């Protein structure tokens, strides 16, 4: 695609040059953009400026900012007893040393990505398209009605997530607190309960994480999965990605390339990372989301409130992302009830009266 665009733009450049030689005037023809990268930079839509290529330990997945690489005393990972190597060195012909990271992890901070989106004309106004007569920004508590009681007209069709009662039930000013060994609760730290989407710029995010496996041809014939693809030849690998989209957008543009924030592209590995490995890069993501949720304010800019409201990953990935045990865990199969995995062999385990909430 880039080569085709380059050839097309180059022909336009020569055409403008021929026209200029014939006496025609084309303003800006002498500085005509001839690559997609140049066009994106001039339009202000280039994303290359805020992608951070983190240095990743291949064993424990401890992350290091590339700016810290020249200050490391040795290529060995300094995370406890980890034996991983962060980078390799090579002596060049001019006598200088070249340091090459063993494993890198591209990371797009959500803060910079959202700031980048706000620069597009009409983007902030489009995030407000869903507001109706009773949805004007202001001080308003979240709705407490649920189910069918939340709707005045049960015959009205729901076209988007913004039409449902859960959208107006999201509360601002919550803080995650631990209650005992197994319980974690969201506690309000505001004097009054505030509806999140009633804030002037309350953005609700949806996240998905998944891994895409390359399997040998024999195994691949036994699986029907639209998420699997073959990115490289001759070898098994698992490549993961984490992306978020903004639910305030019209649903028809949710997953367009320019509306999706590709936060992480996890490097290809023989197997999916363990929970401990995945936690290392996710710590950066969580830190940025907390800054956005707690009202990140910068000079000469509007205040935006951002909340990660939904994880739409599949069951194994969502359990790993939330720090929970796998769904085949003996005693912690379900985070909502105390049903055990081995109890599923008994038919009474599927009766609501048998379930005991945590």
pLDDT in tens, 254-268: 888 888 999 998 888
Q: Quickly count: other Cβ atoms within 10 Å of residue 52's Cβ.
A: 16
Domain that holds residue 330: 326-358
Chain segment 4-39, per-residue pLDDT in tens: 777 887 888 788 778 777 778 777 777 777 777 787
Of residues 175 and 230, the one with the higher pLDDT is 175
Is the same domain home to 176 and 133? yes
Residues 243, 320, single domain; the answer is: yes
Q: Which of 56-60, 78-82, 97-101, 302-306 has the lowest mean pLDDT?
A: 302-306
Q: Is the pTM of this model over 0.75?
A: no
On whether the CB atoms of residues 185 and 177 are closer than 8 A, the answer is: yes
Of 12, 31, 46, the position where a domain reaches its end is 46
**Arithmetic mean of pLDDT, 263-286:** 86
CB atoms within 10 A of CB 43: 11
Q: 319 with 330, same domain?
A: no
> Residue 295: its pLDDT value, please?
52
Residues 6+ positions from 42 with CB-CB distance below 8 Å: 33
What's the structural domain count of the chain? 4
One domain for residues 205 and 186:
yes
Q: What is the mean pLDDT of residues 43-69?
A: 85
151, 287: one domain:
yes
The pLDDT assigned to 105 comes to 92
Task: List all residues 6 or more positions away from 306 whose beta carbon is below 8 Å from its beta carbon.
Answer: 110, 114, 202, 203, 205, 289, 292, 293
Q: Is the pLDDT of residue 286 over 60?
A: yes
Cα gap 313→207, rounded to integer Å: 7
Q: Are residues 23 and 172 in the same domain?
A: no
Do 85 and 42 share a structural domain? no
In this prediction, residues 108-112 reach a mean pLDDT of: 89
Minimum mean pLDDT range among 88-102, 111-125, 167-181, 219-233? 219-233
Question: In this structure, are residues 302 and 201 in contact, taking their beta carbons and an 8 Å threshold?
Answer: yes
Is the pLDDT at 304 greater than 80? The verdict is no
Strand partners, 85: 76
Work out the average pLDDT over 46-67.
87
- The lowest-confidence range among 67-76, 114-123, 222-231, 252-261 is 222-231
Looking at the fold, whether 34 and 142 belong to one and the same domain comes out as: no
Confidence of residue 227 (pLDDT cuts 50, 70, 90): very low
Q: What SS3 class is residue 266? A: strand
- Nearest alpha-carbon partner for 202 in 239, 133, 248, 260: 248
Are 261 and 312 within one domain?
yes
- How confident is the prediction for the chain on average, in pLDDT? 79
Residue 224 has pLDDT above 70, yes or no: no
Residues 240 and 207 in one domain: yes
**What is the full DSSP assignment across 13-71?**
HHHHHHHHHTT---TTGGG---SHHHHHHHHT---GGG-EEEEE-TTT--EE-GGGGGG
What is the tens place of the pLDDT at every residue in 136-149?
A: 888 888 888 888 88
Q: Judge whether residue 107 has pLDDT over 90.
A: yes
pLDDT tens-digit profile of 188-211? 877 788 888 888 888 899 888 887
243 bridge partner residues: 208, 262
Task: Please tell me whether residues 140 and 34 are part of one structural domain.
Answer: no
Contact present, 214 and 231 (Cβ < 8 Å):
yes
Query: Helices (H), strands (E): how many in the chain?
Result: 7, 13
Kindly state whether residues 65 and 189 are assigned to the same domain.
Answer: no
């Amino acid at each position: 695609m880039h080569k085709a665009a380059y050839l097309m733009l180059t022909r336009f450049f020569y055409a403008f040059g021929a026209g200029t030689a014939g006496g025609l005037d084309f303003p800006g023809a002498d500085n005509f953009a001839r690559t997609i990268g140049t066009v994106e930079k001039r339009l202000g839509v280039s994303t290359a400026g805020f992608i951070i290529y983190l240095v990743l330990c291949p064993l424990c997945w401890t992350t290091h900012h590339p700016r810290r690489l020249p200050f490391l005393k040795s290529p060995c990972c300094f995370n406890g007893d980890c034996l991983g190597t962060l980078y390799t060195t090579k002596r060049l012909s001019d006598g200088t040393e070249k340091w090459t990271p063993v494993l890198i992890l591209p990371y797009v901070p959500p803060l910079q990505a959202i700031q980048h989106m706000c620069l597009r004309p009409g983007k902030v106004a489009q995030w407000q398209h869903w507001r109706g007569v009773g949805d004007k920004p202001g001080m308003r508590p979240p709705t407490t009605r649920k189910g069918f009681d939340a709707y005045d007209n049960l015959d009205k069709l729901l076209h988007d997530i913004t039409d449902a009662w859960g959208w107006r039930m999201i509360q601002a000013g919550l803080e995650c607190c631990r209650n005992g060994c197994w319980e974690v609760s969201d506690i309000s730290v505001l004097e009054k309960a505030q509806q999140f989407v009633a804030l002037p710029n309350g953005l609700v995010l949806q996240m998905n994480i998944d891994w895409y496996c390359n399997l040998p041809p024999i195994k691949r014939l036994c699986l029907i999965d639209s998420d699997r693809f073959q990115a490289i030849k001759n070898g098994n690998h698992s490549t993961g990605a984490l992306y978020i989209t903004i639910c305030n957008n019209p649903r028809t543009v949710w997953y367009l390339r320019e509306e999706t924030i590709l936060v992480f592209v996890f490097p290809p590995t023989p197997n999916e990372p363990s929970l401990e490995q995945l936690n290392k890069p996710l710590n950066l993501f969580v830190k940025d989301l907390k800054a956005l949720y707690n009202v990140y304010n910068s000079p000469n800019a509007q205040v935006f409130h951002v909340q990660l409201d939904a994880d739409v990953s599949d069951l194994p990935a969502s359990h790993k992302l939330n720090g929970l045990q796998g769904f085949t865990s003996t005693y912690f199969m379900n985070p909502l009830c105390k049903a055990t995995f081995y109890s599923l062999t008994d038919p009474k385990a599927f009766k609501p009266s048998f379930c005991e909430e945590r």
